[in-house]
Structure 1
């Protein structure tokens, strides 16, 4: 996938903001504190979290296969979609949102499927993910409504608000820049219309995508896999929480809220959620009584374990892609 100069500027800005936020968050965390936390961490639980995440990637690949095959007699293997998916996640670490196009390009080349159709299935998949994310946010709010209301009350307090702004001004500026980039990406295709029409057409496209899911033949499998993905996300977070002494005593509902904040952080248009994930996870952990250092160390451990998983799995799948592509090229001669 080739980027024009404007897209390279967007990538550079998002990476710069991500590094800036990450540096601001961790500039006061000593290497000794991180090493001490790692010595106290149970890597058995971390390993189990990684295994569960790989299962989640496989389920996502299988669900994508269902969407690709919807309404057609197309035979796509879950292995091929898994290879493409992991390469897409790897691409996301380099260029925000490039993974969606990259995985479609990989599968189009190995499976000879139209690129436009594959992109349509990814948009539909992301629409379903957004729907479930809103449901999970609502569930977290119901389970931790007292904490939510307390946080809102603190934020609306002028004294607390002014103190937070003065202490976290660089973080606030970075967040505003990322928010601007996010809305630019979301509404870029509707740039010729007014703002309210952009919102209306965005919601219309989302509704059309939800309606088209009825073409999937295995309805039960599709919706159950969508539920299973969020259960797996939760288990990944829970196992890491159990691995670290400072978070091992968190309640199940607290872990759910941490997962929600982390998911929101990953939505931001920065490479791999760097900075935004850490900021939101650390913030909500502090609300549950952890100190600032403990919250930030938890965030960096879980994020690093998943980034390492994506890098290793993505590079392995990239090797398989080159092998498949070479075998396909040899047959064409």
Structure 2
């Protein structure tokens, strides 16, 4: 049996190789001199503003998270605590895909005594709400740029054949889902007295307590408004960067919205920090909007690169702050 750490290392290595290969394939024909010239000729006042806006978005994410965390689960989590934990999470995502959610929960567990199960429950709420808003943003892009959206969707996926395939295999999909649920139920019943199963059940109860937190919010208006503003910030981050490039400065807000949607989809891919997939989808949509292939790829590289720099710098500072707080919270030895 493969050691879990070795298995994890293999998975991380495979995702990194895939990301690097996609990135290399996209940029192998781009001359480094062209990239440097584009960087030097860009309006860095707009790009700098985009980074400040993104940083404000990270802080707002931290504040929104505090609305979900129950104080009785541990020491009060301030907005500063949550912000630093969020930044450490983003930093972890650059190293291991999807590790950020666990990392930020682990940080608050060590510094504020919050249970990991409860925190993961709140993170699930966040991710669920973000998914809802992402779907709403995609729908908004569809409404604003209807013809272009449909044309792009058909180029990426044959929607008609995909729907027909799902309908033809609907009984198999439903039957497979039911069998999966029954197998899980049987295993839980058969081994319910096993220590490992009891730990899982305890963990799930803690997670459920976090999920229930959305019905007990003291500031529901703040939660929903901040959720909307976070996605507005995503748009403003992309829009301000587009103003910094001569080739993209004339894009309409609706077109930038489409670029943002494609970039968001690219970030979902299970690779470190969306490397490669983000660049491919953003460059693809820009090319369809009439931007040259080279300019589209360089735009994607610069907007992603500036955000990575922001996460690296901010995440490292936040990690130092939280590590110092963790040391400060350790009990003194007699």
TM-score w.r.t. the length of structure 2 is 0.81
Residue aligning to 2:267: 266
Is contact 2:74–2:112 with CA below 8 Å preserved after alignment? no
- 1:123/1:3 CA distance change after superposition, 3 Å: farther
Q: What does 1:26-65 align with in structure 2 at a 5 Å threshold?
A: 26-65=27-66
Aligned residues: 291
Partner of 1:248: 249
RMSD (Å) for aligned C-alpha atoms: 2.6
1:124 is aligned to: 125
In structure 1, distance between residues paired with 2:109 and 2:226: 24
Q: 1:194 aligns with which of 176, 197, 208?
A: 176
Distance 2:109 2:248 in 1: 43
Deviations 1:261-286 (A, max 9, x none): 00000011100000000000000001
Residues 265, 277 of structure 1: 8 Å contact kept: yes
The 1:196–1:46 alpha-carbon spacing in structure 2 relative to 1, beyond 3 Å, is farther
* CA–CA separation in structure 2 for the residues paired with 1:313 and 1:25: 28
1:100-149 residue CA offsets vs partner (Å, 9 max, x unmatched): 10110001100001111111111111111001000000000111111123
Q: Quick one: structure 1 residues 298 and 75, their matched pair in 2 at CA, closer, same or farther if it must change by over 3 Å? A: same
| Unaligned residue ranges in structure 1 (runs of 5+) | 158-192, 200-207
CA–CA distance in 1 between the matches of 2:38 and 2:319? 33
CA contact (8 A) 2:88 2:318 kept: yes
Distance 1:281 1:156, change over 3 A: closer
Q: Secondary structure at the match of 1:194?
A: helix
For residues 173-229 of structure 1, the C-alpha deviation after alignment (integer angstroms, 9 at most, x for no partner) is xxxxxxxxxxxxxxxxxxxx9346769xxxxxxxx9987522211000000000000
Structure 2: unaligned runs, 5 residues or longer = 159-174, 182-208
Deviations 1:143-165 (A, max 9, x none): 111112333555689xxxxxxxx
1:198 to 1:279, Cα distance in 2 relative to 1, 3 A: farther
Q: Where does residue 69 of structure 1 map in the other structure?
A: 70
* Partner Cα distance (1:309, 1:327) in 2: 27
Matched, 1:324 2:325: yes
Given the two structures, how large is their TM-score scaled by the length of structure 1? 0.81
Conservation of the 8 A alpha-carbon contact between 2:89 and 2:101: yes
Deviation at 1:50, TM superposition (A): 0.6
